[in-house]
Amino acid sequence: MCSIAVFVGLDYHKESVQVCVMDGDGKVLGNRVCANDPQAVAVYVARHGRVRGVALESCEGTADFAERLIALTGWSVDLSHPGYVHRLRQNPDKTDYSDARLMADLERVGYVPRVWLAPPRIRELRRLVRYRRQLVNERRNVKLRIRALLREHRRTYAAPRWGKAWYHWMRRVDLAEQSRWILDRHLDRLEQLNGDVQVVERRLEEVTKNDAVVQRLLVLPGVGPVTAWVLCAEVGRFDRFHSGKQLARFCGLTPRNASSGLRQVDAGLIRACNHDLRSVLIEAGHRLKRYDPRWSALAQRLRQAGKPGSVIVVAVANRWMRWLYHEMKTSQAA
């Protein structure tokens, strides 16, 4: 076996993996297609030298592949952010050969934009949380279609919307034949989705009843089960971040700087984030500024400074996440 230190870049696909092996001077020792199997990759790479590091872009299936590769070989494997890697590409052409070579070169110079490799338990929790979000989004869309149908027929009712009396009225409201049939279908689907969401939430309660992170979050003011589930699933370990500011940026609560020359401005919130996570935290910001004295005081100071309501809510969520970082980092370290 060769003892040369090498760096490996992998371009992952469902059927195959493009493997590039590079030495410390940047010379390509091999770049070929292997079967989508960690054993096949390990055998090919072992011909060229001793592995110092492996990099592959994060996409569907790469987390499981990386874990199996680590378990088989003990290599240091880095998942990279595909968006940042795309910006580093200097050639408009895209091929598997060039992608694998770029990953190997980034690993060699230590410039891989790393993505956290979440453990299987967190990945499974993410699937549950995101499945719930899909159902909630579908339920919202059904409600929008129902309201649009009622507006077309100019039907209104004084009862609170989506309450029992309102449902009872919708089952009896006079509509044209086809519209009546469509509304009944929407109402049946809505009842089914309500039941599905409840089933998923009971499943989440069962899965996280012994989770230390979720239980710690639930005792905090303004944090309900959904907020705790989403934070645990999407953030995972708070101590993987270097600071509360970095965590707040990961959550998409940081304004994007668009300064140039003498112009110093913010251009709204950053776009590269998990939008479901950000929306949950902004909802938490609304609750915190209303019911928690500490964050209510912050919101009042910002209001007196002339800040608009949308900016105040995000600022409260931003500061709260920075505070939460220190609270959770201490508890996880213990």
Q: Is residue 106 part of a domain?
A: yes
Residue type, position 317, single letter:
A
307 and 323 assigned to the same domain: yes
For residue 229, is pLDDT > 90?
A: yes
201 and 296 assigned to the same domain: no
How many CB atoms are located within 10 Å of the residue 273 CB? 16
190 and 266 assigned to the same domain: no
| Count of domains forming the chain | 3
9 and 105 assigned to the same domain: yes
8 A C-beta contact, residue 38 and residue 73: yes
Stretch 212-228: mean pLDDT, rounded?
Answer: 93
pLDDT digits (tens, 9 = 90+) for 290-308: 989 999 999 999 999 999 9
Among residues 166, 186, 209, the one where a domain terminates is 209
Q: Tell me which residue of 36, 82, 66, 60 sits closest to 126, measured CA to CA.
A: 60
* Dihedral sign for Cα atoms in the order 315, 316, 320, 323: positive
| Residue 66: predicted pLDDT | 94
Among residues 187, 209, 231, the one where a domain terminates is 209
Q: Is residue 105 part of a domain?
A: yes
108 and 15 assigned to the same domain: yes
pLDDT digits (tens, 9 = 90+) for 105-154: 999 999 998 989 899 999 999 999 999 999 999 999 999 999 999 999 99
159 and 201 assigned to the same domain: yes
321 and 239 assigned to the same domain: yes
Share of the chain above pLDDT 90, in %: 76
How many CB atoms are located within 10 Å of the residue 310 CB? 11
For residue 256, is pLDDT > 90?
A: no
Q: Is residue 239 part of a domain?
A: yes
189 and 96 assigned to the same domain: no
127 and 175 assigned to the same domain: yes
Stretch 42-58: mean pLDDT, rounded?
Answer: 92
> Strand 28-35 relative to strand 77-80: parallel, antiparallel, unpaired?
unpaired
4 versus 196: which is more confidently predicted?
A: 196
Q: Is residue 215 part of a domain?
A: no
**Residues with Cβ within 8 Å of residue 272, at least 6 apart in sequence:** 83, 252
Structural tokens at position 233:
């699933």
Q: Is residue 94 part of a domain?
A: yes
187 and 229 assigned to the same domain: no
299 and 236 assigned to the same domain: yes
226 and 267 assigned to the same domain: yes
| Residue 333: predicted pLDDT | 54
Stretch 262-267: mean pLDDT, rounded?
Answer: 70
- Per DSSP, the three-state class of 36 is coil
Among residues 209, 239, 264, the one where a domain terminates is 209
Domain region containing 132: 121-209
Q: Is residue 214 part of a domain?
A: no
Q: For 36, what's the count of Cα atoms within 13 Å in the CB-facing half-sphere?
A: 10
